[in-house]
Amino acid sequence: MKKISIIFFLFCLILPLAPADGGREIPLDLHLIVDNSIAFGYIRNDAIPWILENLIDSLLIEGDSITLWSAADRASVVASGSLNPASGGASFIDKEAIRSALLNLEASGRNADFTNALLESSQRLMQNQTGQNRLSLTVLVVASAMSIEPVIRLNPHLLRWSRTLHYEGWQVLIVDPHIGSRVLSASQAYMNSLQ
């Protein structure tokens, strides 16, 4: 049921921009932020296969980009690049490199710094969105509800457009940081069509 929920949610985010034949042609910028605190060690065997199956293998297509974040005591980028072979060089990343980076994540911090990961991720997504027709999505894999509490308390706007999927001992937060502007544009277009 949870898998159906995430697929449905992602489908609803991407559907308005998908071509009529059902395939997605508009590239996606995915920021995947993984809890890398000590608590991650307890959920690793469930979370990593879920990420690989539901995000890396099922969602990402050629032309997408991914930034994999480790949220430990300090947030840091573990892997980043475009799934477009034409980009070449250091900016190209394939699914095997992403898989390897995920499998090599080791729990390393007492806390998970989701606040700074979300702030920096949001800034990067805003810079990449300028003048481009791209989708953006941020996914947090959280080992403990307590680790996300500072974000909720101090920066609730970072999770304003989010959906939470609960699993035994962990959760996934799916955030669409730019859906607000898309909803506003759609509303304005609808109101203009009534005149």
Q: What is the 3-state secondary structure of 83-144? A: CCHHHCHHHECCHHHHHHHHHCCCCCECCCCHHHHHHHHHHHHHHHHCCCCCEEEEEEEECC
Domains of the chain by residue range: 2-15+27-194
Contact yes or no for 101/79 (Cβ under 8 A): yes
pLDDT band per the 50, 70, 90 thresholds, residue 119: confident
Task: List pLDDT tens digits, range 152-189.
Answer: 666 666 666 677 788 888 988 888 755 545 445 555 56
pTM for the predicted model, two decimal places: 0.75
* CA 64 – CA 30 distance, rounded (Å): 8
Specify whether domain 2-15+27-194 bears CATH 3.40.50: yes
pLDDT for the residue numbered 17: 44
